[in-house]
Structure 1
């Protein structure tokens, strides 16, 4: 095991000893509500409970503790869109090692500020990780700093592989592991560990559909790479030279998940598992939502790899999901402008069991009769059937309701 690979199972076992006491041994939690959602028996490895809320601490600690005294004195430099940056910065400060982090200018503000808060010098450069990487290597050469790669490094890969050591110790019955796939450090380390401990286990990698880098590399495909993804933690254009052979040899499939599935998975983690997942952290669950039949009846381990999600983004995702489920709906009502109209409308919605979230009252629109009024009402309902029943009741009361969809799209009622 490990022949021809950058690391062996023994390296991962050694990493477990090295990082013990520095990194949290996170819980592997049964997830009955996610199991009900997917039809599989789901267990979630909560790496979002680490001090910097991601698995990246494992590889960072293993790498930092492998440095010589001279290297520690000179300091380290890393490039990262966020979680690797925070992990290196946090533990470098703990170990008294100067740290510089180069981050793309597009990095979410929460990750930039968290990295600075851990004491690192932050350099914002470039639009992509590739540009940040080139800049980091320039600075490393100028200042004789040790470059800590986020995934294409043997010590980092070995550190990440300790996730599966813990998972199979906590739940040896697992038969499938779904792991987010960016540059491949997490998957490479864990595939080697998993196959050494349980050769029958199936390893499935999950990429954002906008960044199918490993899919292209393994399948010889040429899908376009790029775009704004919720899963910026795995938005990697170039796979690791050391991780690719491991993925080719030990990973049975690479699943591509769309942005709407990633959104649904982030929302499910928050509302069903009561835990925060960033887009990349929810990728494994997104793959299960894509093909629930594939995993039905299996014992599936998900690595919730990170929980660093912007609060406003999470709020927007949760509201969008309510809109998708038609538990938030907006109606445009037209009626004669008469005293007590608003009271009648509010009373009607109350009787129907809907909660009014917002009302916009317009008299001056030219498409409304001079004695008429237009009301835009946004409500919260129980489910799609409840929303449909409310629409029918509004029509019966003579309000001529028209649905207003997200982004201002109204339903097409031009048909027969």
Structure 2
């Protein structure tokens, strides 16, 4: 029995990055031997075990063969005869196909270290094309390591292009796709994830609504970058730069989908794109079964982001409707995330990345003014039921009028 550290732990150590998760592969062992040493089995499809003390994952060396469509269409073979090299060749990228023993002696049969130095994301073998999920994974790694100068090798990009055209991407489950998308959006440069997907034709398959934004012009006065797709990438870049949570980043990606529906004869204006985009945002939300908080914020930002930008001009009654739509009294955090998404949208424009956004504090102040309205005095006056609701609304409107006059 020989045990090796494999994959990301080896890659990140060689890159000088912190190592968080460690995966181990065990060569020359049987399931029975692992159980005898106290390892606990967790893998349903193939033999993976948890270490009795550390809880880290140890997998028996295995080979795999394509047996059906999609991510799950594989049969695995694990036995003591499977070599370390055979286990490593089934991995996606050369930089993830290295192993080291307990003395840090490197096993690198597919030149991962060379590709690390060349800053290349290159597939290990033609079997790469058997797993459509790898298109998303490579794009995610491109987003993670773009800051270090990594790019996708041309021959790997070509394989990803072939996969995108093959129909295999449609076989991915919503859960697996979302796992990769959500992780990619939380990388340092999530816009690179979208760029790589677009370059290999996968964006058109997975998110045609986002792909359709490229080449669609906007008024240069508001959008010096002009192209709506380029703007969307810039907004996403700003969201990452400002360390926004996943909910905000997802909303930033989808906020302008309605502009993809504008007839060419109406370009570069996009009248009512906020409302037109809602059905598209809903479709993307449902396609990937995004978490509820991501779905809700994306729809609200899509519908109201121009309200955010015009906050200082809004009538008190419109401001009140906006606050009601977000349920700022019970869900203050969601409104904060809306404000953040609006600010990222304002900054995601060529040359305007450092602009101030006074609307943010103004909206926060409006929410606080509406929240100061006390319900108890209204109850004491005898208001109840629908009448109480109307009375609260009147008082909040009064508070917002006073706030606007002072601002």
TM-score normalized with structure 2 length: 0.24
Instruction: Name which structure has the greater RCO, CA cutoff 8 Å, separation 6+.
Output: 1
Which structure: greater helix fraction?
A: 2
TM-score normalized with structure 1 length: 0.24
Which structure: greater strand fraction?
A: 1
